[in-house]
Structure 1
Amino acid sequence: MRGTTLDLTRHVAVMAIVNRTPDSFYDRGATFALDAAIAAGVAAAEEGADIVDVGGVKFAPGPPLPIEHEIERVVPVVRALAPVVAVSVDTFHPEVARAAIDAGASIVNDTTGLRDPAMADVIAEGEAGVVIAHSLAAPRMPHPNPHYDDVVAEVAAFLTDRRDRALGCGIPPERIILDPGHDLNKNTLHSLELTRRLREFAALGSPLLIALSNKDFVGEALGSDRGDRLAGSLAAAVYGVLQGARIVRAHNVRETLDAVRMVEAIAGWREPAFLRHNMPTEEVA
């Protein structure tokens, strides 16, 4: 993806989150200021994040933000971080995606799953990768009481259709990532079932991203407030990796990295950082 390669056969990538929004559901604007956003992205890269995902508009319903304002929010952060780490831009606007790619973004993370047909063309022309996420509603519009006869089958069909759209527009298969969209127009029971059956999404053949971090389904499953969902998020992430997910989008980078690196070590995908316990020691003369 524009000079960035991730081999996910024996590696779980962590995608850090940087929100340049004053009202993000988790950090409540902690990285809205430009210097704070850049510092957060650099810190995530130093901790070991493979990708930093930069967003200027939250998914939740609300009034539209003018496209030029979204560009003003995300492009300076992308430009500052692109020399340091692979950067994705979280947007559903083709104009924002184009500006971010020009600034150095390697991936476009579209939570509407290429709802705007022009988005796929922009990504193909920019030789970027794409995260195709599932959601039902028009961007930033409410969708109360969502209904699915079989949430996994319906989400999988959606992702397959939108992947075909991406392929038809010239995005190579190795640049396509799928995301079932936990909590996006889904209730907690839907998100738990998506998690339980993630192997069915991994079987679709594209790298699978899971965005579980601190989401409401974690809080409702445990009865935990927004600031007390880390343990549940890590448990869900580890379960997801065991079901075939290979990219984990997370707010808590260091803790998530420790969790997925431990999975890699147990699976035999990586060597331990060091070996001391019950190992032979040199005899002292």
Structure 2
Amino acid sequence: MTAVWGIVNVTPDSFSDGGRFLETGAALSHARRLIADGADVLDIGAESTRPGAEPVDEAVELGRIVPLIQALAGTVPLSVDTTKPAVAHAAMAAGAAIWNDVTALGTPGAPEMAAELGCQVVLMHMQGEPRTMQHAPRYADVVGEVEAFLLARAQAAQAAGVARDRIWLDPGIGFGKTLQHNLALLAALPRLVAHGYPVLLGASRKRFIAAIDPSEADGRLGGSIAAALAGAAAGVTAVRVHDVRETVQALKVAAAIAEA
């Protein structure tokens, strides 16, 4: 069955739950709930990448994320959602095993750091950067361009010494994309899966759902599950979600139907 990654945002400004889990104790309680709800992996981030988000100082990011990873080490596999090689290094030392990078190891020294750490790494596509990515994004061929970018970044990672079997791809739903771009990428997921890399899909509570059915972030459960089921049907390895229990249940039912 498709794996479920639970989102833990240790931030004051994430688009859906910013500020709710900024304090380590609250974040730890939330993380433990997600594990109890069936999360296979926890993806922990301390710098928001929502549209318009401002960068976070490295020391601040480390202070938010390292104590939480240390407290959760030994539970389920932990992923650190960061663009900074030094933060990834500290996270792995604290007990994480996966580096989820929205810049696809685009920071200087990042591919080499990933090779040194020997961790799994998620390469995500983003047009621009969080502060400006939703300012009229344009593509001639969104599926082809995202696919080519991700394959090029995978090759760059391998050239730096990252093992092929440690590399994941993520099309970056909502990161520099319009509604139609997102829908085209979701419809073309089998094409990305066919390259043989594990694919992570992060569509949970994204704005494209509200563009189809107007709703606030916490009112997009149905759309989030629909996207997760589409990803599972396309063969993605995992979905990254806020609502773990509901997504696990939906995937279990879909898998049972498929096996009947």
**Normalising by structure 2, what TM-score?**
0.96
**Aligned-residue offset at 1:224:** 2.1
Match of 1:33 in 2: 23
Is the 8 Å Cα contact of residues 70 and 96 (structure 1) preserved in structure 2? yes
Separation of aligned partners in 2, 1:13 and 1:118: 30
Match of 1:252 in 2: 243
Match of 1:220 in 2: 211
**Aligned-residue offset at 1:148:** 0.4
**Aligned-residue offset at 1:35:** 0.4
Is the 8 Å Cα contact of residues 112 and 136 (structure 1) preserved in structure 2? no
Match of 1:274 in 2: none
Match of 2:41 in 1: 51
List per-residue Cα deviations over 1:130-183 (Å, max 9, x = no partner). 010001214x33131011011000000000000001111221122111000000
- Does the residue aligned with 1:145 lie in a helix, a strand or coil? coil
Within the candidate set 117, 124, 127, 1:126 is matched to 117
Residue segments in structure 1 that go unaligned for 5+ positions in a row: 1-10, 272-285
**Aligned-residue offset at 1:62:** 3.4
Tell me, yes or no, if structure 1 residue 107 matches structure 2 residue 98. yes
Residue segments in structure 2 that go unaligned for 5+ positions in a row: none
Is the 8 Å Cα contact of residues 213 and 249 (structure 1) preserved in structure 2? yes
| 1:141 partner amino acid | R
Match of 1:242 in 2: 233
Is the 8 Å Cα contact of residues 108 and 131 (structure 1) preserved in structure 2? yes
Within the candidate set 146, 154, 176, 1:163 is matched to 154
Separation of aligned partners in 2, 1:12 and 1:99: 29
Match of 2:181 in 1: 190
**Aligned-residue offset at 1:43:** 1.4
- Does the residue aligned with 1:57 lie in a helix, a strand or coil? coil
Match of 1:230 in 2: 221
| 1:142 partner amino acid | T
| 2:75 partner amino acid | V
Match of 2:57 in 1: 66
Is the 8 Å Cα contact of residues 135 and 181 (structure 1) preserved in structure 2? yes
What is the RMSD computed on CA atoms of the aligned residues?
1.3
Number of residues of Structure 1 aligned to a counterpart in Structure 2: 258
Tell me, yes or no, if structure 1 residue 205 matches structure 2 residue 196. yes
Separation of aligned partners in 1, 2:70 and 2:255: 32
**Normalising by structure 1, what TM-score?**
0.87
Is the 8 Å Cα contact of residues 110 and 133 (structure 1) preserved in structure 2? yes
Separation of aligned partners in 1, 2:240 and 2:225: 11
Separation of aligned partners in 1, 2:57 and 2:108: 20
250-259 or 215-224: bigger deviation: 215-224
Match of 1:179 in 2: 170
Identity %: 40
| 1:92 partner amino acid | T
| 1:38 partner amino acid | L
- Does the residue aligned with 1:153 lie in a helix, a strand or coil? helix
